[in-house]
Amino acid sequence: MEKHLGFIGLGNMGNPMASRLIDAGYGLTVHDTRREAMDALARKGATPANSPKEVASAAETVLMSLPTPAIVREVAVGANGVVEGSKVRTLVDLSTTGAQAAIQVAKALAPKSIAWVDSPVSGGVAGAVAGTLAVMVSGPRQLFEALEPVLKLIGKVFFIGERTGMGQTMKLANNLLSATAMAATSEAVVLGVKAGLDPRVMIDVINAGSGMNTASRDKFPRSILPRTFDYGFKTGLLCKDLKLCLEEAEALGVPTMVATAVKQIWFHAFEKLGPDSDFSEIVKIPESWAGVEVKGK
């Protein structure tokens, strides 16, 4: 694979992933709607581009990390999109797009002989900075093997399958579990605080016992107990992921009684806290109902 790549979307996740590629010696042509995001990477040696088309005219392999399926579609196949680039041959989607959107975009790129590779990631901003993300890849096996050295720079790489959308389905299943852990742990800890328990002791006990999960292990100690609420992932984005997950489950005929309840609490948080709230603020919902505050001593 050539040592020059394209990268589109330099937000909370995209910036550290792109930075790691530069640090590893790859040349990057980058694009973001925010000039300051491009300037930050330009200071590290990246070349800013005015459009996705310009990125796709500078590199055979383009990676993108974007917030919603609609933006993914626009960047990939819209006006001045990747599809209009003169050099691109592979588009790697690091976003959470959903299987159906991935299939649609892949079909739109095919007439231009541009291969689409699902490669959603999980692990948050901290994982993107450290290069410890879970990278869930689906696409042609030969293409996966060619991309693997690049993707290993951002995390642990898993080959999910060759069919378009399989990586996206894996990511949605993962995010459903993450969302469930956050909502359920919030309710459990609020219950304990209402009964007079110390929330920090509760988290220590949970993490030493059978209730341990990603929320108790990471989100509570880092962002909830200190009341910083700065984990770096927005409530609105998690609600988007849950919506995609339930839509896919419905299309497959899979019952989702637990997932539906989890979606309800998260969309209530969306309404009460706003889409731009940090998703660690979910604890404020059961707190408000119980009349207590979860705070480490």
Known catalytic residue at 171: yes
Helices (H), the chain: 14-23, 35-42, 52-56, 69-77, 99-109, 124-130, 141-151, 166-194, 199-208, 214, 235-252, 257-273, 284-290
Token duo for residue 4: 């020059």
- Considering the candidates 171, 240, 263, 284, report the single residue annotated as catalytic: 171
b/e map 32-42, b = 16+ CB within 10 Å: beeeebbebbe
- SS3 assignment, position 27: strand
DSSP 92-160: EE-S---HHHHHHHHHHHGGGT-EEEE--EESHHHHHHHT-EEEEEES-HHHHHHHHHHHTTTEEEEEE
Give catalytic residue positions: 171
